[in-house]
Amino acid sequence: MKLWGGRFSAGPAELFERFSGSLHFDQRLFEADVVGSRAWAAALERVGIYSQTERQQVQAAFDEMLAESQSPEYFAGADDEDVHTFVIRKLGEKSEDLAARIHTGRSRNEQVATDFRLWMKGEIRANQSRLVDLMQALVDFAKREPTALLPGYTHLRRAQGVLWSHYCLAYFEMFARDYDRLADAYRRTDVLPYGAGALAGSGFPHDREAIAKDLGFASISANSLDVVSDRDFALDFLYAASTTMLHISRLAEDWILYTSEEFGFLEPGDEVTTGSSLMPQKRNPDALELVRGKSGRVIGHLQALMIVIKGLPLAYNRDLQEDKEGVFDAADQLAGCLEIIRLCVQTTKVNAAAMEKAADDSWTCATALAEFLARNGVAFHRAHQIVGTLVLQSTKEGRKPADWTLEQLREIAPEFDAEAAKLLSARRALENHTTPGATAPATVARSLAAAESRLEAMRRAR
């Protein structure tokens, strides 16, 4: 079936029909299309195209179609141009007369924009839920290991000690921003296109607010030309998905390193590791590598859609059909990666002794010693020099911080005292970091409590 044809003397080539058809991917919008069309039927009743009884019949038919579509055979063999055509044909199988009027004054341009937004709103909410689960898993990990101490890195060189719980909360913050970005994307998606027609609005006096209310949209679009060709909401979603994937990817990269024999800080669960077909000893972090890899794919979808849109003259152009596959794939990859990385967080164990030893062996306490001197009247530049000399001498002699006695420290600088000697441990050094958002134990405990209330607020807002 076709929704057009009167103006043509010959039909399109079969080659072109296959090329342009989108049902094989946009059937994913079936439910949104039916739900949208159900509301459209109500709109048509309000402008006198359907009687009340007819509108009820159409809506009942749509409800039946939603139930029937659960069967895997429902789409088998369909060769309609797109999901919108398919839905009308299926309605026609129930009532030819009612189906012949459902598209009154309606354009697929407003229809696909409405469907896509309806579908995306559901997808955004589902991924926000997955983010909340992941953030909860990070909070749980922080609580499971309240005292573990990690050498924090800059330039991938051991820098200063941080609590493992502080590290977990760093990723919590990234994912909380992603949650927010999705909420923002939702807000801009939550606008009704129906009533915009093909580009110029409708020749029927539709109550667009009523359609918006029926479909659960927060508002109606302000300009018909804009809304039929606007895909900013899809870009917003892809950007939010991309930043989330970046954060997942960075976590994965950290843990690929930390679970290696070279670091030995983390032990991955069997649930998310694989073996080698050849090397019997291997346990590979494939789950982490896959999410790192898939991040590139999602970022690619963002770029691709921007490029599709870049040169389009106003308003709708068929190029816009290229918006869907990338967004569908991005949504699938995002959902899968959020679930897998959560499983990784839930099943990974900390090797606290190895972490702390790495921090203690490597002068991650040096800054604390310099700050001690500065607190006791030594200009920071000189304090930095003094501790630098201490580290240089240690390195030459193969000594670690714990190998130094107070007497030896005082030979380097008489300002060192018993308090300073205690700072030769990474754990003691981080205790001074009490500024808000820092890594001292009491500070992290406060951040952890705040993170838990933020999660509660996110759950309440659903």
Interface with ligand ARG, residue 112, by CB under 6 A: yes
The nearest distance, CB 110 to ligand ARG, in angstroms, is 10
The nearest distance, CB 182 to ligand ARG, in angstroms, is 23
The nearest distance, CB 52 to ligand ARG, in angstroms, is 30
Binding span for ligand ARG by CB under 6 A among 30-38, 119-127, 177-185, 318-326: 318-326
Rg from Cα positions in the chain:
30
Among 57, 104, 321, 347, binds ligand ARG (CB under 6 A): 321
Among 191, 320, 366, 444, binds ligand ARG (CB under 6 A): 320
The nearest distance, CB 132 to ligand ARG, in angstroms, is 32
Amino acid identity for residue 312 in this structure: L
Amino acid identity for residue 256 in this structure: I
Residue whose CB is less far from ligand ARG, 318 or 396: 318
Active-site residue, from 51, 219, 260, 276: 276
Among 108, 121, 384, 433, binds ligand ARG (CB under 6 A): 108
Binding span for ligand ARG by CB under 6 A among 272-280, 288-296, 315-323, 362-370: 315-323
Among 318, 396, 460, 462, binds ligand ARG (CB under 6 A): 318
Amino acid identity for residue 265 in this structure: F
Interface with ligand ARG, residue 95, by CB under 6 A: no
- Our answer to whether residue 381 is catalytic in this structure is no
Of the candidates 391, 362, 446, 401, the one whose C-alpha atom is nearest the C-alpha of residue 166 is 446
The nearest distance, CB 82 to ligand ARG, in angstroms, is 4
- Our answer to whether residue 155 is catalytic in this structure is yes
Count the helices and strands in the chain (H runs, E runs).
20, 6
The nearest distance, CB 151 to ligand ARG, in angstroms, is 52
Of the candidates 409, 402, 405, 392, the one whose C-alpha atom is nearest the C-alpha of residue 427 is 402
Residue whose CB is less far from ligand ARG, 204 or 328: 328
Binding span for ligand ARG by CB under 6 A among 106-114, 183-191, 326-334, 372-380: 106-114
Total binding residues for ligand ARG by CB under 6 A?
Answer: 10
Binding span for ligand ARG by CB under 6 A among 239-247, 303-311, 313-321, 413-421: 313-321
C-alpha–C-alpha distance, residues 341 and 141, integer Å: 13
Interface with ligand ARG, residue 109, by CB under 6 A: yes
Print the SS3 string covering 60-122.
HHHHHHHHHCCCCCCCCCCCCCCHHHHHHHHHHHHCHHHHHHHCCCCCHHHHHHHHHHHHHHH
**DSSP H/E element including 310:** helix 286-310
Among 33, 45, 80, 82, binds ligand ARG (CB under 6 A): 82
C-alpha–C-alpha distance, residues 193 and 31, integer Å: 17
Active-site residue, from 155, 277, 381, 453: 155
Of the candidates 78, 87, 83, 81, the one whose C-alpha atom is nearest the C-alpha of residue 16 is 81
Q: Are strands 149-154 and 157-163 parallel, antiparallel or unpaired?
A: antiparallel
Residue whose CB is less far from ligand ARG, 291 or 308: 308
Angle of the 30-46 helix axis to the 52-68 helix axis, nearest 10: 180
Binding span for ligand ARG by CB under 6 A among 312-320, 337-345, 350-358, 445-453: 312-320
Residue burial 272-289, b: 16+ Cβ < 10 Å; e: rest: bbeeeeeeeeeeebebbe
User: How many Cβ atoms from other residues are within 10 Å of residue 129's Cβ?
Assistant: 15
Q: Both tokens of residue 313?
A: 């003259």
| Residues contributing to the site for ligand ARG (CB under 6 A) | 22, 26, 82, 108-109, 112, 316, 318, 320-321
Catalytic residues: 155, 276
